């Protein structure tokens, strides 16, 4: 089953936990180091912006793969085309095998006919 967070946010559960952990760690560092508190909203905004960029890239990747639009991706089309060609080649190979069998049978009949004809032409001994 696909991770719903990955589908909607572009990151899986572990990636989101790491993202949140890093954001909280940076915010805690600024708070503990007595840095300017004005950075806290900037850090949160930067984190959300980074998450939005990751989501946008994930959605774009899904569109290119044909997952969202329902279009068949080019690789799948190519694979289907190759599978069709293989099936056609197998059918041709089967037909060639049948023709070889018929040719062998015809050669045996001709050989038997020639042997009988030569016995008739030679006459009794």
DSSP code, position 11: S
Over residues 37-55, the pLDDT tens digits come to: 888 888 889 888 888 888 8
User: Is residue 114 very low, low, confident or very high in pLDDT (cuts 50, 70, 90)?
Assistant: confident
Predicted confidence band of residue 60 (pLDDT cuts 50, 70, 90): confident
CB count within 10 Å of CB 62 equals 15
Question: pLDDT band at residue 97, thresholds of 50, 70 and 90?
Answer: very high
* Angle, helices 13-32/39-64, rounded to nearest 10 degrees: 160
Question: What pLDDT is stored for residue 1 in this prediction?
Answer: 44
Domain ranges of the chain: 1-71, 73-125
Instruction: Please state, in angstroms and as integers, the Cα–Cα distance from residue 70 to each residue in 7, 40, 73, 80, 84, following that order.
Output: 15, 42, 9, 16, 22
- As a whole number of angstroms, the distance between CA 58 and CA 76 comes to 20
What does the alpha-carbon distance between residue 69 and residue 63 come to, in Å, rounded to a whole number? 6
């Amino acid at each position: 089953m696909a991770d719903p967070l990955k589908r909607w946010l572009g990151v899986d559960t572990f990636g989101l936990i790491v993202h949140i952990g890093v954001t909280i760690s940076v915010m805690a560092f600024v708070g503990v180091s007595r840095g300017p508190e004005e950075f806290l909203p900037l850090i949160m905004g930067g984190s959300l912006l980074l998450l939005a960029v990751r989501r946008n890239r994930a959605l774009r990747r899904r569109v290119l793969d044909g997952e969202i639009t329902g279009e068949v991706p080019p690789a799948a089309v190519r694979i289907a085309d190759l599978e069709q060609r293989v099936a056609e080649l197998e059918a041709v190979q089967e037909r060639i095998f049948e023709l070889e069998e018929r040719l062998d049978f015809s050669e045996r009949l001709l050989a038997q006919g020639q042997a009988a004809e030569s016995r008739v032409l030679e006459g009794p001994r």
